[in-house]
């Protein structure tokens, strides 16, 4: 199974699928092709939340503001999964989560163990066909080749036909999603992404809302609820989303508009 | 085969697919993930129109304004098909149509026979992982389990691992799409949905347009045509859509804007 | 494998998929269902660019402003591929490309040889179920029947059950995408499509930018670059897109808005 993620909209992902299907019979599953344009961090967040729900798979990811520069292409081994994409950090949070999930099955996973459990390989592409559409000309053939090898025996191949050599590396661009900061009784947090519903998803872990009836968001009192249905239509609220983080919403409305926030904005949460 | 329908946009449906694919190798086919947000009736209409074109399948549907409340999760047997989703009526119009279609193959189907032919089961989910994303944590694992059982021998399972027991029930939320009302020479009808083209699809059966050249819509004379091409570009028209209902359109334009209507609006049609 | 392309948005393509899956177990791959509404030329461009990346397949295409008129339904043999859709030219540029690609494998392909290599068949549909949704009632069953025959022995069937006879024809609507015109030192070109990124893709072959640092677009000096990253954010540029044509873009912005152009507009390019 190969999952596909990008910020390409339509119809460019179809060219990637054609290239992949020239090289493998694997099942293809779209994660999303409408990730926010060139927003590496938003994509990294969504992939970390969603990919762990999949059975062992190859994950092809192309959110790549550096296309055409000399940034590397990489494959990352992570537990029973392998990820293929640009070396800009977009794969790392999901890879750590997938590697940790694999560890969890055996024993207590420590953060360092998780970090150890991922293995990064650089994929040479000096023979690639274009410098403008690496999704089609680099990452798609690379993902197909990696998938064939990974599905066979959980190895990454030594080379990708038509691209170049694949070599283990310790040098790669890392990415950590930001952590909230304690400020006295309050938490200085950040809106990581806004979803299609308009929910503003923060980086605050959900447990902080436990046993609270209300929080203050940038000074404004907001009910803390378990489900949207607890408040009237149009009422704003704070709740724990399906990803386990605090999110700022409106029942049957758009939280981002009501709270006046967008991805990347800082918010002060008084508990 | 499992079809998937929701109002989730992107990327939440991918989490549902991951969960399903952990549990079954079934083919997955998206019906839509852009149904109007939390509009049970619009989704019920579309499912009734589209699902009968599919071969025998399990249909996973999540349009669920009551998520987080104690509304039940149900599976509905309907002819060669089975549907899984929230107990809010969204499955019922399609289920009746699918059950009727199965009856039609054998004999004359009466409305009562169709109603008899559906069987509803409540799916317990007291062990579910979250209260905010039942699409992923309740309906996806339920649909996978129901599918495995249904594909094997056309039965619904007694329980879903990790969720709870599955028990037949006669109590469920029903939904009938509204019927038009005769008002002398006119019909008081309703716009059920507006499609992506801007066509305003009413609840009036298409045969009422037979042999008519013109109808009056809220007092305004409008040509009744068989195909858009019969009127000039930009001209409004009434025609019978692919679903068999009267729809209000504009040739190469948006009918909803031209007629000033949206889903749920009442319209007077003089024939 | 059957690819699907249309301008239907959602959920109408699902009805087509249901009909196809009643008739074949083929893998289905979406190319796009958001092609610009009723824009035959834009769809023809995208199909010509994308379909050659696929392995041998049946390509179902429904961009069909003439639905409901007496325009024919056709199947087009093109190398290892076969295309099914309306007789309005939308299939022809891709078919020629696919036929040429097949020739290229053996020998030098001349344009005339490419033209010879496509074979067009008219698909009768006098028994079709509706006059408004030919995607579902004509092209979907036709594509399924053509696919079964084509996958078996690279033939087109003599008839499609429930539709009508399939007969070779030399009469079909052709479509050539427009060529740029030389005007002294300049090229009068045309914006063929605008992609989801806002890139204005012209009909000028990319080699004209070779060794140039700058071009003038309607009199305005614009850097000619290999990659977006060569210019600052917000800067306009001309580059060679993944399709091999000159496109007018803005780094991290929308080229169509910056240059004030849309599909079909004429642009003067001074080299």
Q: How far apart are CA B229 and CA B248, in angstroms?
A: 14
In this predicted structure, the answer to whether residue A108 has a pLDDT above a threshold of 70 is no
Asked, for residue B117, whether it belongs to a domain, the answer is yes
What pLDDT does C109 receive? 44
Residue A115: phi and psi, rounded to 5, are -60, -40
Cβ–Cβ of C242/A38 closer than 8 Å? no
Based on the fold, state whether residues C192 and C67 are members of the same structural domain. no
Mean pLDDT (chain C, rounded): 91
Task: Quote the crossing angle between the two packed helices B40-50 and B92-106, to the nearest 10°.
Answer: 20
pLDDT greater at residue B128 or residue A144: A144
Residues A124 and A186 reside in one and the same domain = no
Separation CA C52–CA A130 (nearest Å): 16
Q: How confident is the model at residue A109 (pLDDT cuts 50, 70, 90)?
A: very low
Same domain, A13 and A90: yes
Q: What's C209's domain CATH number?
A: 2.40.30.90
Q: Is residue B202 part of a domain?
A: yes
- Tell me what pLDDT residue C102 has: 63
Residues of B numbered 38-57 whose beta carbons fall under 8 angstroms of chain C's beta carbons: which are they? 46, 49-55
Chain C neighbors (3+ CB pairs < 8 Å): A, B
Same domain, C133 and C106: yes
Residues A13 and A124 in one domain: yes
CA distance B137 to A244: 13
pTM equals 0.93
Answer whether B8 touches A (CB < 8 Å): yes
My answer on whether A142 and A14 are in the same domain is: yes
Residues B32 and B150 reside in one and the same domain = yes
Strands (E), A46-99: 58-62, 73-78, 81-86
CB contact under 8 A, C196 and A8: yes
Q: Which of B1, B2, B7, B12 to mutate to test the interface with A (most CBs of A within 10 A)?
A: B12
CA B252 from centre of chain: 26
Is A68 a domain residue? yes
The answer to whether residue C108 scores a pLDDT higher than 50 is no
pLDDT at residue A240 is higher than 60? yes
| DSSP character string of A45-58 | HHHHHHGGGSPS-E
Residue C31 and residue C145 in one domain: yes
Beta-bridged to residue A189, according to DSSP, are A267
Confidence of residue C82 (pLDDT cuts 50, 70, 90): very high
Which residues, listed in sequence order, are joined to residue B120 by a DSSP beta bridge?
Answer: B76, B169
Mean pLDDT estimate for chain B: 91
- Spell out which residues of chain A touch residue C196, defining contact as CB-CB under 8 Å: 8-10, 12
Residues A72-98 have pLDDT tens digits of: 999 999 999 999 999 999 999 999 999
Pairing state between β A81-86 and A73-78: antiparallel
Q: What is the pLDDT of residue A41?
A: 95
Averaged pLDDT score across all residues of chain A: 91
Per-residue pLDDT, B102:
64
Summarised one tens digit per residue, pLDDT across range B177-220 is: 999 998 888 999 999 999 988 999 999 988 888 889 999 999 99
Query: What is the C-alpha separation between A50 and B140, in angstroms, rounded?
Result: 14
**What integer is the mean pLDDT of A137-160?**
97
C23: nearest CA partner in chain B: B55
Provide the pLDDT for residue B110: 46
Measure CA B243 to chain center.
12
Within a domain: A155: yes
User: Would you call A29 and B14 a contact, using CB atoms and an 8 Å cutoff?
Assistant: yes
Q: B–C: how many Cβ contacts below 8 A?
A: 77
Question: C245 and C131 in one domain?
Answer: no
Q: pLDDT per residue over A207-230, tens digit each?
A: 888 889 999 999 999 999 988 878
Average confidence (pLDDT) over C25-36: 97
Cα(A135)–Cα(B2) distance, rounded to whole angstroms? Answer: 29
pLDDT digits 0-9 by tens, C110-124: 454 445 689 999 999
In a domain, C161, yes or no: yes
Q: Is residue C241 part of a domain?
A: yes
Q: Are residues A142 and A65 located together in one domain of the fold? A: yes
Which residue in chain B is spatially nearest to C33 when comparing CA positions? Answer: B196
Quote the domain boundaries for residue A203: 181-270
- Touching check for B167 and chain C: CB below 8 Å? no
The answer to whether residue B60 is domain-embedded is yes
| Residue B78 within any structural domain of the chain | yes
Q: Is C50 helix (H, G, I), strand (E, B) or coil?
A: helix
A229–B38 CB contact, under 8 Å: no
pLDDT, tens digit, 9 for 90 and up, residues B129-170: 777 789 999 999 999 999 999 999 999 999 999 999 999 999
pLDDT digit string, tens, across residues A256-265: 999 999 999 9
Chains near A (3 or more Cβ pairs under 8 Å)? B, C
What's the whole-number mean pLDDT along residues A178-189?
A: 90
Q: Do C1 and A21 touch (CB under 8 A)?
A: yes
Q: Could you tell me where the DSSP H helices lie in chain C?
A: 12-23, 40-50, 92-106, 111-117, 134, 140-153, 255-259
Separation between Cα atoms, residue B201 and residue B186, nearest integer Å? 17
- Chain C residue closest to B196 (CA)? C9
pLDDT at A92: 97
pLDDT at position B86 over 60:
yes
Which two structure tokens, joined as six digits, stand for B213? 């050249």
Are the beta carbons of C14 and B34 separated by less than 8 Å? no
Q: B236-240, C21-25, C143-147, C153-157 — which is least confidently predicted?
A: B236-240
CB contact under 8 A, C133 and B242: yes
pLDDT of residue B40: 96
Q: Do C227 and A17 touch (CB under 8 A)?
A: no
Specify which residues B76 forms β-bridges with. Answer: B83, B120
User: Quick check: C14 and B31 CB within 8 A?
Assistant: yes
pLDDT of residue A103: 57
What is the rounded distance in angstroms from the CA atom of residue B73 to the CA atom of residue B64?
10
CA torsion A39-A44-A45-A47 (nearest 10°) is: 120
B163 and B217 share one domain? no
Whether C129 and C21 share a structural domain: yes
């Amino acid at each position: 199974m190969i999952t596909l993620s990008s910020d390409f909209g339509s119809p460019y992902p179809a060219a990637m699928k054609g290239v992949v299907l020239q090289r493998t019979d694997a099942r293809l599953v779209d994660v999303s092709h409408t990730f926010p344009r060139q927003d590496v961090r938003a994509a990294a967040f969504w992939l970390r939340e969603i990919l762990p729900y999949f059975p062992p798979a190859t994950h092809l990811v192309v959110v790549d503001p550096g296309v055409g520069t000399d940034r590397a292409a990489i494959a990352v081994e992570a537990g029973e999964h392998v990820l293929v994409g640009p070396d800009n950090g977009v794969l790392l949070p999901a890879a750590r989560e997938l590697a940790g999930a694999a560890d969890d099955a055996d024993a207590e996973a420590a953060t360092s163990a998780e970090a150890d459990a991922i293995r990064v390989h650089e994929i040479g592409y000096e023979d690639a066909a274009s410098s403008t559409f690496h999704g089609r000309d680099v990452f798609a053939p690379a993902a197909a080749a990696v998938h064939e090898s990974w599905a066979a025996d959980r190895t990454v191949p030594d080379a990708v036909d038509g691209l170049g050599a694949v070599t283990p590396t310790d040098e790669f661009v890392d990415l950590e999603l930001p952590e909230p900061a304690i400020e006295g009784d309050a938490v200085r947090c950040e809106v990581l992404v806004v979803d299609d519903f308009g929910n503003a998803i923060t980086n605050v872990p959900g447990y902080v809302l436990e046993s609270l009836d209300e929080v203050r968001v940038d000074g404004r009192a907001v009910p803390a609820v378990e489900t949207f249905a607890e408040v009237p239509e149009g009422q704003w609220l704070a709740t724990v989303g399906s990803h386990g983080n605090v999110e700022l919403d409106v029942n049957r409305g758009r939280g981002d508009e009501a709270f006046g926030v967008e991805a990347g904005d800082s918010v002060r949460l008084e508990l």
